[in-house]
Amino acid sequence: MKDQKPTYLNFDSEKYFWKPDIDYREHPERYRVGKGEQGVLICEPYKSEIGKFWRFKTADIAEESSGKIFDLFKEYLRKNDFVGADMARKYLQMGFTRARRYFNYKGGKKYDAEDNYKMMKRGTGDPEKEKSADIFFKKWKEAESDKKYTRMKKDWKKNFG
């Protein structure tokens, strides 16, 4: 793990499946579930609809943010919009992972760009972010366990990937 470098150093946007010039509401068939949070900061119009509510600075802010995003998740499900629901789920997951990073590393910086991308010292972050991470984690898991979402995700992966 010591010699690990951030994956963004070798990022190839040409090979990345998600593209910023696609309207995924108009062309949902072009959407892929992917792993984890892939595509979350690219897929429009969902990025703009959901991203404006994504915040985790304090536990209170995380509570409000995760609640709003979860409401959007449920609304997308009511509309049978799997892409929207999956994107909302990804934002909840990303709320957890980013808040944890800010808890673990001061300023959320995991690598030191000025020292050959050496891993920064862990345990130097903001303790408040641990609470935010826990809040997002619970909402993320609640979304993932939703029966309709689970069924839709299975069908989507079978039909589109």
Give me the mean pLDDT over the 108-112 stretch.
73
67 found inside a domain: yes
Residue 1 has a pLDDT of 47
pLDDT in tens, 10-63: 767 777 778 889 999 999 999 999 888 988 999 999 999 999 999 999 999 999
**Of 84, 87, 104, 83, which is closest to residue 140 (Cα–Cα)?**
87
4 found inside a domain: no
38 found inside a domain: yes
Least confident among 97-101, 126-130, 146-150: 126-130
The residues facing 112 across adjacent strands are: 118
Q: What Cα–Cα distance (Å) separates residue 5 from each residue in 36, 42, 60, 93, 125?
A: 19, 23, 34, 22, 20
> Who has greater pLDDT, 114 or 11?
114
Give me the mean pLDDT over the 123-136 stretch.
88
Indicate the number of domains in the chain: 1
15 found inside a domain: no
CA 115 – CA 136 distance, rounded (Å): 32
115 found inside a domain: yes
Least confident among 30-39, 75-84, 141-150: 30-39
Q: At what angle do helices 59-78 and 82-104 cross, to 10 degrees?
A: 160
Instruction: With a cut of 80, say whether residue 151 has pLDDT above it.
Output: yes
Residue 100 has a pLDDT of 92
Residue 30 has a pLDDT of 94
Instruction: With a cut of 50, say whether residue 139 has pLDDT above it.
Output: yes
Residue 40 has a pLDDT of 92
In percent, the amount of the chain with pLDDT more than 90 equals: 66
Task: Report the amino acid identity of residue 149.
Answer: Y
Residue 126 has a pLDDT of 80
- Classified as helix, coil or strand, 53 is coil
> Who has greater pLDDT, 38 or 143?
143
52 found inside a domain: yes
Range of the domain at 84: 20-159
72 found inside a domain: yes
